[in-house]
């Protein structure tokens, strides 16, 4: 039986994660992410590397001032200037990193083993004299001589290091090797040891879990596995592997994993691959009729965990792989019931669309269902005109003219941007008779270039009814308005009528 101790998490999203090429966070963005990491329950937040720049120090100081529960740490090389800058930021700890492989010692530092060991000892002592918690980290440890590494660790502990860290800097560890290394190190050292993995060969999570099994007390992780090159170990993966495969509950609030993932992706400008485990768009999305049929019987048939555990929802999508079961489920969600013959025809038409490479939207489903079921509906809300004013200094303002049944209504609205202003004006146009809520808004480019066609998706709700609608065109404002008007019509039609009385 595999036994784990109390697993700690050292999150380096704001340091190693921010070293992702092209990523640079403003201080307020660092604070926003740090507060979410703290709510998740991580033990240590590596807020940056204080030596980097004045702007980086400003960000680290801003995180420190938040008074979070987590320990706030700065990365530092074994140089007095690095530690001094960390002290200036008033962090709780330093992640003190020293090269330990002969490749790094000889080629990068141009020094010898004993000199490097003494550098580590001197800086541990210096940091401890100034009141810092010290985590002494061996860079490129996976390619180092393990006897030398152990001797450096022991010297660091004797100098006062509180924790140690083993860095697989270029991702060359193997899980079985990792387990053996940590079994030996954890039993022979007088300080807890961390594992810090990179994902160059796709083994970061496997190696991290193997290290924890072998006796590592703490895992270095990032949200979404972001980081230099192929990235670091993903926090969400380690947490859910421990929970679902080993029965180990950590202090991490798992329901916050997906919201935090989306926040980091947005602020850092790094979109997630659709097939990214747990947090990618497709992770809990099902199209195959066989899979959907199984899910109806028991969700565990095609899902290892329920999406709600990490703050997500299951999605059933329609396309060429859809079966009658998934089509019937989708119809029920929009309040429609079909006979077996009608269901066969709707399914056939959906597959035809899928075969043409088209994404089958809720609007497509409604159109097909209306045709097959003989439902004829006329839009009760018609957009007559929409004018938007926006500028560098002016508050974005929009005015809309709509026809609701036979009544002409003119409304205006303001917003944070031109799209927000237009949608607020539309919402006001029906406010007296329908309380509509915009739950989700998404924009995708269908074509490239400055004249790209964009597709806007909205999810809207009224009371307990929830629908999706879309709009498309070269103008993002009008595509958004088109999607919103379509959504308003569908919600109002489903509630059977909008009164003329205002």
Structure token digits, residue 166: 């083993």
Which residues share a beta bridge with 168?
Answer: 197
pTM of the full structure: 0.73
Which residues share a beta bridge with 195?
Answer: 166, 219
Whether 293 and 186 share a structural domain: no
Contact between residue 159 and residue 121 where contact means Cβ atoms under 8 Å apart: yes
- Side-chain-side CA neighbours of residue 103 (13 Å): 9
How many angstroms separate the CA atoms of 295 and 313, rounded?
Answer: 13
Domain annotation covers residue 291: yes
Whether 452 and 475 share a structural domain: yes
How many angstroms separate the CA atoms of 118 and 132, rounded?
Answer: 19
Whether 354 and 453 share a structural domain: no
SS (H, E, C) 187-228: HHCCCCEEEEEECCCCCHHHHHHHHHHHCCCEEEEEHHHCCC
Domain annotation covers residue 344: yes
| Residue 189: domain span | 8-268
Which residues lie below 8 Å from residue 114, measured CB to CB, with a gap of 6+? none
List the one residue out of 37, 94, 27, 39 whose CA is nearest residue 65: 27
Considering 340, 373, 406, which residue would you say is the last residue of a domain? 373
Whether 303 and 179 share a structural domain: no
Whether 349 and 391 share a structural domain: no
Whether 251 and 110 share a structural domain: yes
Whether 350 and 388 share a structural domain: no
Place of tokens 């810092």: 132
Whether 131 and 27 share a structural domain: yes
Full DSSP string of 294-352: HHHH-GGGT-SS-GGGGT---EE-BSTT--HHHHHHHHHHTT----HHHHHHHHHHHHH
Whether 314 and 420 share a structural domain: no
Considering 345, 373, 401, which residue would you say is the last residue of a domain? 373
Domain annotation covers residue 277: no
Whether 48 and 152 share a structural domain: yes
Domain annotation covers residue 204: yes
Q: What is the pLDDT along the chain (502 residues), one digit of tens a residue?
A: 456 778 999 999 999 999 998 899 999 999 999 999 999 999 999 999 999 999 999 999 999 999 999 999 999 999 999 999 999 999 999 999 999 999 999 999 999 999 999 999 999 999 999 999 999 999 999 999 999 999 999 999 999 999 999 999 999 999 999 999 999 999 999 999 999 999 999 999 999 999 999 999 999 999 999 999 999 999 999 999 999 999 999 999 999 999 999 999 999 999 999 899 999 988 887 654 444 445 555 666 667 888 889 998 876 667 777 777 778 877 876 677 889 899 888 888 888 877 877 667 666 777 788 778 876 566 788 899 999 998 777 799 999 999 888 889 999 999 999 999 999 999 888 876 567 788 888 887 655 565 667 778 788 887 777 777 777 778 889 989 988 888 888 777 655 444 333 3
Structure token digits, residue 24: 């640079």
Structure token digits, residue 350: 């959906």
Domain annotation covers residue 487: yes
Domain annotation covers residue 43: yes
How many domains does the chain contain in total? 3
Question: What CATH number has the domain bearing residue 419?
Answer: 3.30.160.270
Domain annotation covers residue 26: yes
Considering 373, 399, 422, which residue would you say is the last residue of a domain? 373
Contact between residue 68 and residue 41 where contact means Cβ atoms under 8 Å apart: no
Which residues share a beta bridge with 8?
Answer: 218
How many angstroms separate the CA atoms of 461 and 334, rounded?
Answer: 12
Whether 246 and 108 share a structural domain: yes
Which residues share a beta bridge with 94?
Answer: 74, 134
Question: What CATH number has the domain bearing residue 348?
Answer: 1.10.238
Whether 397 and 264 share a structural domain: no
pLDDT score, position 473: 79
Domain annotation covers residue 499: no
Which residues lie below 8 Å from residue 413, measured CB to CB, with a gap of 6+? 397, 398, 400, 421, 422, 423, 424, 425, 426, 427, 428
């Amino acid at each position: 039986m595999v036994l784990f101790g109390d697993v700690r998490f050292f999150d380096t999203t704001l340091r190693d994660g921010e070293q992702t090429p092209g990523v640079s966070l403003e201080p307020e963005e660092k604070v926003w992410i740090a507060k979410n990491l703290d709510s998740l329950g991580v033990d240590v937040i590596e807020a940056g590397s204080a030596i980097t720049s004045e702007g980086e120090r400003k960000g680290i100081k801003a995180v420190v001032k938040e008074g979070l529960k987590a320990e706030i740490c700065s990365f530092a090389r074994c140089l007095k200037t690095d530690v001094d800058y960390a002290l200036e930021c008033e962090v709780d700890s330093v992640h003190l990193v020293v090269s330990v492989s002969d490749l790094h010692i000889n080629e990068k530092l141009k020094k010898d083993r004993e000199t490097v060991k003494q550098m580590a000892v001197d800086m541990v002592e210096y940091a401890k004299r100034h009141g810092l918690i010290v985590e002494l980290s061996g860079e490129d440890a996976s390619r180092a001589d393990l006897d030398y590494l152990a001797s450096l660790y022991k010297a660091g502990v004797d100098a006062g290091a509180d924790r140690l860290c083993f860095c697989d800097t270029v991702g060359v560890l193997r899980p079985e090797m990792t387990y053996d290394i940590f079994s030996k190190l954890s039993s022979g050292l007088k300080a807890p040891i961390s594992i810090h993995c990179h994902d160059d060969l796709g083994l970061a999570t496997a190696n991290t879990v193997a290290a924890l099994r072998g006796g590592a007390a703490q895992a270095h992780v990032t949200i979404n596995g972001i980081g230099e090159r192929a990235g670091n170990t993903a926090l969400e993966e380690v947490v859910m592997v421990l929970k679902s495969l080993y029965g180990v509950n950590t202090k991490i609030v798992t329901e916050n994993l997906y919201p935090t993932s989306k926040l980091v992706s947005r602020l850092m400008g790094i979109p997630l691959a659709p097939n990214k485990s747990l947090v990618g768009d497709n992770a809990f999305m099902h199209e195959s009729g066989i899979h959907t049929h199984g899910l109806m019987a028991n969700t565990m048939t095609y899902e290892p965990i329920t999406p709600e555990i990490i703050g997500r929802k299951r999605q059933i999508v329609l396309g060429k792989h859809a079966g009658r079961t998934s089509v019937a489920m989708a119809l029920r969600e929009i309040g429609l019931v079909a006979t077996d013959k009608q269901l066969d025809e709707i399914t056939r038409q959906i597959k035809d669309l899928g075969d043409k490479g088209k994404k089958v939207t809720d609007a497509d489903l409604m159109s097909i269902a209306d045709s097959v079921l003989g439902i004829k509906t006329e839009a009760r809300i018609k957009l007559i005109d929409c004018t938007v004013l926006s500028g560098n200094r002016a508050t974005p303002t929009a005015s809309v003219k709509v026809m609701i049944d036979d009544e002409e209504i003119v409304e205006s609205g303001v917003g944070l941007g031109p799209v927000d202003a237009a949608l607020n004006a539309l919402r006001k146009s029906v406010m007296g008779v329908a309380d509509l809520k915009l739950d989700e808004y998404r924009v995708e480019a269908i074509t490239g270039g400055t004249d790209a066609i964009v597709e806007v998706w909205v999810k809207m709700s009224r009371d307990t009814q929830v629908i999706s609608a879309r709009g498309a065109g070269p103008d993002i404002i009008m595509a958004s308005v088109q999607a919103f008007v379509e959504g308003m019509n569908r919600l109002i039609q489903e509630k059977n009528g909008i009164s003329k009385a205002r």
